[in-house]
């Protein structure tokens, strides 16, 4: 304590210390594992193997992400390694669905899930696979956690309404919904 006084730092009482430990402890026992975003990005890439988009003259395969999300970095890492068919992958961060009309996939992060109806409407009729995260509404695929295990819902109807075809193997891997 003498040293503290020399440093002009007010000594901390034991009660305060205990309180600090409890408060900081409770706050900090929150552990988030960022690996989820990596696996979601890997899932998104894998989805492209099971979905068939109508033919077009695209030079790139565009994955648009609405808003800021850690998944952007993960998707970009994949885009450097893999192609979809013969098309190089282009990952775009967009602020509104209007900017994503040329995309083949639009990812709606959990933070933007309330905008899903609006996004779906803006991309109405376009061959865009809308992938949402823990959302409800008109998605093609929606990431969910069941029993705290990563899974996904898949709507064959919504995908086919947008003129894409889905391989039945993907329906078996996910949870089909309508």
Q: Which residues bind another protein (CB under 8 A)?
A: 3-4, 7, 9, 12, 17, 21, 24-25, 27-39, 42-43, 45-46, 49-50, 70, 73, 77-78, 81-82, 145, 147-151, 170, 173
Kindly state the smallest distance separating residue 40's Cβ from another protein, in Å.
8
Query: Is 28 or 56 the residue whose CB approaches another protein more closely?
Result: 28
Cβ closer to another protein: 86 or 149?
A: 149
* Least distance between another protein and beta carbon 34 (Å): 3
* Other CB atoms within 10 A of residue 93 CB: 14
Q: What is the DSSP letter of 100?
A: G
Minimum distance from CB of 38 to another protein (Å)? 8
CA distance 26 to 89: 42
**Which stretch of DSSP H or E encloses residue 119?**
helix 116-122
User: Which of the 8 DSSP states describes residue 87?
Assistant: E
Nearer to another protein, 97 or 109 (CB): 109
Print the SS3 string covering 63-79: EEEECCCCHHHHHHHHH
Q: Which of residues 26 and 56 has its CB atom nearest to another protein in the complex?
A: 26
Shortest approach of another protein to residue 169 CB, angstroms?
8
**Closest separation in Å from C-beta 75 to another protein:** 11
Beta bridge partner(s), residue 131: 107, 141
Tokens (6 digits) for 83: 């192609």
Contact (CB, 8 A) for 74 and 93: no
Nearer to another protein, 67 or 101 (CB): 67
């Amino acid at each position: 304590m003498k040293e503290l006084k020399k440093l002009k730092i007010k000594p901390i009482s034991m009660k305060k210390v205990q309180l600090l430990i409890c408060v900081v402890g409770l706050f900090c026992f929150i552990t988030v594992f960022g690996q989820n975003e990596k696996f979601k990005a890997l899932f998104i890439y894998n989805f492209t193997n099971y979905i068939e988009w109508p033919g077009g003259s695209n030079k790139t395969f565009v994955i648009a992400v609405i808003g800021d999300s850690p998944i952007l970095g993960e998707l970009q890492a994949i885009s450097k390694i893999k192609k979809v068919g013969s098309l190089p992958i282009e990952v775009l961060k967009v602020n509104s669905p209007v900017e994503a009309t040329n995309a083949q996939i639009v990812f709606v992060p959990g933070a933007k899930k309330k905008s899903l109806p609006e996004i779906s409407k803006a991309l109405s009729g376009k061959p865009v696979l809308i992938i949402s995260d823990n959302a409800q509404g008109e998605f093609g695929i929606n990431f969910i956690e069941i029993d705290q295990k990563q899974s996904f819902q898949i709507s064959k109807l919504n995908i086919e309404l947008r003129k894409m075809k889905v391989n039945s193997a993907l329906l078996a891997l996910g949870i089909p919904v309508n």
